[in-house]
Amino acid sequence: MPVAELHYLVPEHNEGTEIDIIHSLSAETTDDAEDLFVDIKDRLLNVTSWGKYAGMNEVSFGLADSNGHKVKRHARRGDHVLVTTATTTGAAQYDWLTIDALEYDDYPDTNMETFAMRLRPSSQPGQDNTQFKSADTTTIVVLRDQHDLSAIYHGRNHAAANGPMWQGIPNEGWSALMKGMLEYYMD
């Protein structure tokens, strides 16, 4: 998917920074690509394993329902993601994200399908959420176009003060996650 043809869940870039990170691979056949697409979609929904997929030992991801209760299941719209990052001082940094959209689309005429998750910064569930800008998002899109597969990170309207980092994770970490979602195989 060319960056110019953004998924409809990716908001317009208005201020701050924008970044697009794309990792792709080709399967031998369309049937293989369809099977891999299901695996990659499952990896995207398996939030608590994101650190493992990316090979990031200094970052962990937790999943909580809309009421803030920890859950062990695939992510759903309205869930919260807890990102725990080790800082240089040894203390932990905690950032919360809300999954505000999950969308699957199938385009049989072009033999293409997509699955997308949009995340927004939020407060810990049950606390005041007014300090967070609604324009600040990350949208992760998994795309199958015939036998080609892509995992794409779209960061939009991130505060410029964060530089090449969002929610305590540098762009290299998000890049590793996109690559890991495509290439991770359990032994």
For 107-121, how does the pLDDT look when each residue is reduced to its tens digit (9 = 90+)? 999 999 999 999 999
pTM, whole model, 2 decimals?
0.89
Question: Which of 111, 173, 116 has the alpha carbon at shortest distance from 142?
Answer: 116
C-beta atoms surrounding 85 within 10 Å = 19
User: pLDDT for 43-89, tens place per residue?
Assistant: 999 999 999 999 998 899 999 998 999 999 999 999 999 999 887 78
Cβ atoms of 160 and 16 closer than 8 Å: yes
- What domains appear along the chain, each with residue ranges and CATH number? 17-183 (3.30.530.20)
In whole angstroms, what is the distance from residue 110 CA to residue 8 CA?
17
Number of CB atoms found within 10 A of residue 144's CB = 24
Q: Work out the burial of residue 173: count CB atoms within 10 Å of its CB; fewer than 13 is exposed, 13-18 middle, 19 or more buried.
A: buried
Backbone angles phi, psi at 153, to 5 degrees: -105, 125
